[in-house]
Structure 1
Amino acid sequence: MFDLMPFRRNDDVFERMMKTFNEMFDPNALAPFANANSFRTDITEKEDAYLVEAELPGFSKEDITIDVHNNELTIRAKRDQTEESKDEKHKFIRQERRYGEFVRKFYVDNIKEDEISATLDNGVLKIHIPKKTKEGPSGKRIQIQ
């Protein structure tokens, strides 16, 4: 296979087979697939709101949907493979860019759903989620009649 380093092909079949066999026992072998349909996200809490920041480089706002339903915030980003990438005249030696649908879901509670706002700037999606105002302790004194 085409490795990043040392940028040379090795046609020794036995050596390639041994390398493949040894890679199966590497503890990090499955790491690239652990979050294959996910993206990096930071969530911060302020006194009056939550701020969700998600890294979505290469996506336009038309590729992203944000939904809140039953206390669940869902961020969905979809990237289709371009036609030029599917060109059969050229074969990939190495393809590292991912295509498809990427989804993250978060539980949210006590928020003002109607006031949620979002912006996308330089591949960073920022979602501002206002909290509901805290009500004081509730209670009522009952008069005896």
Structure 2
Amino acid sequence: MAYDMKPFNRDYFDMSPSEMFRDFGRQFFSNFPETKSVRTDIKEMEDRYELNAELPGFTKDAIDVSYENGLLTIKAENNMMNEAKDNEGRVIQKERSFSNVKRMYSISNVDEDNIDASFKDGVLSLSLPKLEKNKRKSIEIKEG
């Protein structure tokens, strides 16, 4: 019985170490969950901050937004591998993946009770109203 010494159908004896590592990494890591970054635009207006975050491939229900202690957190999880079975024909190949993202932003002076969020065409839009100047807590500094 002969054994094939070519993992992934490649002859690693004819490759440089960097080619071997790159090829092995591509094969090895292709089976792990994908983690992506959230591309974000943040604008400061006079009365609010406007944030647009790209979350393509996610649904509104898969996104979680929270704001606590001056920290805005956006999390999204997409598990396309658990899709409903197709009763039409035989599935030969399924190219869906599990992906998740999490991004945190330090944004202070936000009226957290009036944050507005919407999601359309893969873009999460947040309007973060600023606290009114007279609502800011000012601390008096005493001598001594």
Q: TM-score, normalised by structure 2?
A: 0.63
CA distance in 2, matches of 1:98, 1:55: 18
Look up the match of 2:79.
80
- Are the counterparts in 1 of residues 70 and 106 from structure 2 also a CA contact under 8 Å? yes
How much has 1:82 moved relative to structure 2?
1.7
Q: Which residues of structure 2 form unaligned runs of 5+?
A: 1-8, 24-33, 84-90, 139-144
Q: Which amino acid aligns with 1:50?
A: Y
Q: Which amino acid aligns with 1:38?
A: S
Structure 2 residue 44 is matched with structure 1 residue 45: yes
Look up the match of 2:27.
none
Count matched residues: 114
- Are the counterparts in 1 of residues 77 and 100 from structure 2 also a CA contact under 8 Å? yes
CA distance in 2, matches of 1:105, 1:98: 23
CA distance in 2, matches of 1:76, 1:106: 12
How much has 1:100 moved relative to structure 2?
3.5
Map 1:24-35 onto structure 2 (within 5 A).
none
How much has 1:53 moved relative to structure 2?
0.6
Secondary structure of the residue aligned to 2:38 is: coil
Look up the match of 2:142.
none
How much has 1:99 moved relative to structure 2?
1.9
- Are the counterparts in 1 of residues 35 and 100 from structure 2 also a CA contact under 8 Å? no
How much has 1:101 moved relative to structure 2?
2.6
Which has a greater percent of helix?
2
CA distance in 2, matches of 1:50, 1:120: 17
Identical pairs, percent: 38
How much has 1:51 moved relative to structure 2?
0.8
Q: Which residues of structure 1 form unaligned runs of 5+?
A: 1-9, 25-34, 139-145
CA distance in 1, matches of 2:20, 2:41: 36
Compute the RMSD of aligned alpha carbons: 3.5
How much has 1:58 moved relative to structure 2?
1.2
CA distance in 2, matches of 1:83, 1:114: 35
Look up the match of 1:20.
20
